[in-house]
């Protein structure tokens, strides 16, 4: 794949409550086996996450998109209350 830093991705990640993440790639690294990992700030599960580049989701489902929209609304509400 030709994913680079700054790209917005959907990716399957192990150990997350939703089993997938969505966010902007901030770095990439390789393990001893040569697998490329992408590190990104996850907008679904929160926090800095990493996933294998080969696990990128090319076409997210409607449920995934709805979950991302729901999380964004929750973030916006918190920010609005902070003012």
Torsions phi, psi for 27 (to 5 deg)? -165, 170
In tens, the pLDDT along 10-40 reads 999 887 677 899 999 999 999 999 999 999 9
Domain 8-82 sits in CATH 2.60.40: no
Stated pTM of the model: 0.81
What strands lie across the sheet with 48-52, from one edge to the other?
A: 8-12, 20-30, 36-42, 48-52
Asked whether the predicted pLDDT for residue 52 surpasses 70, the reply is yes
Q: How confident is the model at residue 1 (pLDDT cuts 50, 70, 90)?
A: low
Domain chopping of the chain, boundaries: 8-82
Distance, in Å, from the CA atom of 67 to the CA atom of 50, rounded to the nearest integer, reads 19
């Amino acid at each position: 794949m030709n994913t680079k830093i700054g790209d917005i991705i959907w990716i399957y990640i192990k150990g997350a409550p939703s089993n997938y993440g969505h966010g902007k790639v901030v770095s990439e690294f390789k393990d001893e086996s040569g697998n490329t990992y992408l590190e990104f700030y996850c907008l679904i599960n929160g926090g800095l996450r990493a996933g294998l580049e080969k696990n990128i989701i090319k076409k997210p489902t409607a449920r995934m998109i709805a979950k991302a929209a729901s999380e964004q609304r929750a973030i916006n509400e918190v920010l609005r209350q902070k003012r």
